[in-house]
Amino acid sequence: MPPDIDLTRGGYGGDIVEEMFKPFTAQYMDYWWHFREVLRPGQERGNPHWHRIDGNSLTDDDWKPLIALSMTNYAVYTGLAEALGFFEQMRNELYRTTFTGWRVFEVRRAWKAMYSSLYSSFTALSNVICMVVGKKPIFKNAAGNRNYDPGDAKGVVQTIPAILTPFGDCQQRLEIRNQLDHYWLIWHGIEQGQFFIDRNFSQKAHLVIDPANDAQVDLDAYKKAQDDLINCASNFNLIYKEMAITGGYLDAYFAHNGWYVEYSDYGKPHNQMRPKP
């Protein structure tokens, strides 16, 4: 099924990192690109296309949350890009012609790093949700510069099924991160082209003391990683769609802050108007 947004038209261009992973993100995260396109004029302080609704220029207090939102949104992308990179590395190591003990270590390392980066991306998205949907300040605790976490974001979207459902699916998939911090507790088997783990690994505090009876090392960790990566990206997209559509949470966030965006430099297909899917 083709994406809702034609990223070959209008702006929808990114930096070297954004463009490198665009074949994947254009397929699974077109609404991230749309969200970014709406934020584009606010990426740098003093951009003339941003004003206050009352006609005055944005103050430093206005620019801080706007730039923070843009940067945090970018962190969602870079975290996902890192996860994609580590997944590719895991695949390359797993299917090398010569497979050695060192390759086993590299497969394990890339696998753990993929989930860590994907979780970082999910945490960045949690902060975007708290700022845009919850209209919360930049930091959970400004004194200590503490960010929000997925628990904070889930509290914000508790009554919004269009966001809560895909958010909850991501959260469930990324429970694996808790166990990866204790990787030695997960029974596994890695050979050339094969990476299997105990299918009960996701249970918190799961500890196998009788492998012959308790361990079921038959879950394909490589396929699971691929499935989790694609489904998290797709879920991210559903969340962004709900935030980015015209009249959605992002527009409400702008109005809440008294901001007005002028799209006079947006060419086709936007035609000097708010970009629309």
Task: Tell me the average pLDDT across 18-37.
Answer: 86
Identify residue 126 by its one-letter amino acid code: S
List, for residues 118-162, the tens digit of each pLDDT value. 999 999 999 999 999 999 999 888 677 789 999 999 999 999 999
Among 108-112, 165-169, 207-211, the minimum mean pLDDT is found in: 207-211
The residue among 165 and 185 whose pLDDT is bigger is: 165
Identify residue 47 by its one-letter amino acid code: N
Most confident of 113-122, 143-152, 189-198: 113-122
Q: CA 221: distance to chain centroid?
A: 21
Identify the residue whose tokens are 């994947």: 24
pTM of this prediction exceeds 0.85: yes
Q: How far apart are CA 172 and CA 176, in angstroms?
A: 8
- 12 contact partners, CB below 8 Å, separation of at least 6: 5, 33, 37
- Predicted local distance difference test score (pLDDT) of residue 265: 59
What φ, ψ does residue 195 adopt, rounded to 5°?
Answer: -145, 100
Return the percentage of the chain with pLDDT > 70, whole number.
84
The residue among 149 and 199 whose pLDDT is bigger is: 149
What φ, ψ does residue 156 adopt, rounded to 5°?
Answer: -70, -40
